[in-house]
Structure formats: structure tokens, C-alpha cells
Amino acid sequence: MARQKLARVIVVGFLFALLFLTLFPMYFMIVTAFKTNYQLTINYFGLPMNPHGEFFIDAAHKIWVYLKNSVVISGGTVIGVLAISSLSAYVFARFEFPFKSALFAVLLSFLMIPGILTLIPQFVLITKLNLINSPWAAILPYIASGQLVIIFVFRTFFEEIPKELTESIRMDGGSEPVVFFRLVLPLALPIFLSMGLVNVLSSWNDFIWPLLVLSDQAKTTITVGLYRFMDPQQIIYGSVFSGMTLASIPLMVLFAFTMKYFVQGMTSGAVKA
């Protein structure tokens, strides 16, 4: 028994060490945001002695526009994806119609088309559509590829809703939209949240695509904006780390309240890379 206790103590200690290393970058980011370059060289790891808040103001001015663009793009994408996916998934789950399985097979086959194949032609297409530096340049392709896994997950979920429930609403004279909006959507709310959060995270984090299609400094996303923020010539570390800290806040706040759903969404969406 004593041996087991000892093993437990070692495991807990080891996990705390791993956790320390995992979270250390976040600690370092936050404390460095308050330091001048000189303070960083004399007090590298410690808490700032007399913290400087001005870097946050400087960084906020610079990244505000990127944050706004990212919110528009990720928000537009997730709304579009959920609307389109739920409609299609519901139809696939509830109705029989000609070419149903063929259409679903087509849909699934696009799960196997990797983003790397379509990167160049999509860029050419967006250029031809004259959408470069418009938020739609990101939103539309994100919706196109984001919907596939979600339709797949939603369809399974909708099929599991008992037929008796939908029938009882129909008996009361409820039309199909009533069934969809009054019964199915409320039931599906947790899974909407799960898949929505995963979708937000992936569009928010995308780097290569906005780098290509949102090259204008005023139109680009937080990911690209932060990257450009690292001016290699004259780095003011306080500003850089302030920018990184500020850029982390929106997702942190969003996920603080929804972590459970996010974890569920991550694991159920794992069918697609």
C-alpha cells in the first residue's frame, strides 16, 4: 500500500512538472507584456518590478483592427456553416428522395480532398471573383470545407431523434419548419455549440489562407496581423507580448464557458484531418 501511495505521489509530481512546462509560456507572455526591453534583460523570468501598462495601449491600437476582422470572418463562417449544414443534414436524416445516397457519397468524397490540392486554384478563383482583401475571400471557402464534417455529425444526431417526437408535433398540425425549429434545433443545441466552437477555432487559427487573400494590412486577420507585428528590426518585446496576450483573450473568454462542448466537438470531429 505504501508503495502505491509513493507511486501516486511521483505521478502527481511529474504531472505538475509537465503542467508547469505546458503553461509556462503563458506566464512568460503575460509578465513580459509589462516589461521594457531593459527590464527584460535584468529581470528575465520574474514578475515585473514596476509594471509598464503602456505597451498594452500601443498593442491594442495596432491589433484592434485585426481582432475585428477575425471576429467578422470567424463569426460569419460559423453562422454560415451551421445554417447550411443543419439544413442539409436534416434533409438527409429525415427524408427519402431520388439520388439521396449518391449525393451523400459525393459529399463524403470531398472529405478526402485535402486543402493542399485546392490552395492554388482557390487563390486563382478568389482573384477572378475579385474578392481579394474582402472578408468573403475567407468566409466562403471556409464554409465550403467546414460544412462537410458537420453535416456528417449532424446527420447522425438528427437520425437519433425519436420519430415519435416529430410525429406528435405533426399530429398537432405542425409543419416541417415547425418541427425543425421548435423540436430539432433545441435538442441539437449542445452539438451545435460543440461543432461551432471547433469551427471557430480552426478559422481563427488559419494562417496561410488569410496571408494569401487578405494581404492588405487593414483587412487581414489576427493571425497574420500578429505575425507581421514581430518587426524583426526593432523589437519592443513589451508590445509584442502585449499583442499576443490581447490576441489570446477573445478565445480564452469564449472557451472558458464552453470548454466541455469544445472537448466533445474536438473528439467527435476527429474523423477528418
Is residue 141 within 8 Å of 126, Cβ to Cβ?
yes
* Residue type present at position 208: I
Is the Cβ–Cβ distance between 203 and 77 less than 8 Å?
Answer: yes
Q: Please report where in the chains the cell 463562417 appears, as a residue.
A: 77
The nearest distance, CB 214 to other proteins, in angstroms, is 14
- Report how far residue 79's alpha carbon sits from residue 82's, in angstroms, rounded to the nearest whole number: 5
Binding to other proteins in span 158-177, by CB under 8 A: none
> How far apart are alpha carbons 122 and 141 in whole angstroms?
8
Site string for other proteins, 47-66 (x = CB under 8 A): --------------------
**What are the respective helix, strand and coil percentages of the chain, to the nearest 5?**
80, 0, 20
Contact 39, 48 (CB under 8 A): yes
Q: Name the residue nearer to other proteins (CB basis): 15 or 47.
A: 15
Q: Which cell numbers hold the place of 41? A: 534583460
Interacting residues with other proteins between 203 and 242 (CB under 8 A): 204-205, 207-208, 212, 222-223, 226-227, 230, 235, 237, 240
Tell the smallest beta-carbon distance from residue 57 to other proteins (Å). Answer: 19
State the number of binding residues for other proteins (CB under 8 A). 84
Q: Does 116 bind other proteins (CB under 8 A)?
A: yes
The piece of 50-58, 121-129, 159-167, 188-196 that touches other proteins (CB under 8 A) is 121-129
Q: Hey, which residues between 79 and 98 contact other proteins (CB under 8 A)?
A: 83-85, 87-88, 90-91, 95, 97-98
Q: How many Cβ atoms from other residues are within 10 Å of residue 214's Cβ?
A: 25
Q: Binding to other proteins by residue 46, rule CB under 8 A?
A: no
Per rule CB under 8 A, is residue 147 in the interface with other proteins? Answer: yes
Rg (CA), the chain: 24
Question: Does 261 participate in binding other proteins (rule CB under 8 A)?
Answer: no
- Which residues from 1-40 bind other proteins, rule CB under 8 A? 7-8, 11-12, 14-15, 18-19, 21-23, 25-26, 28-29, 37, 40
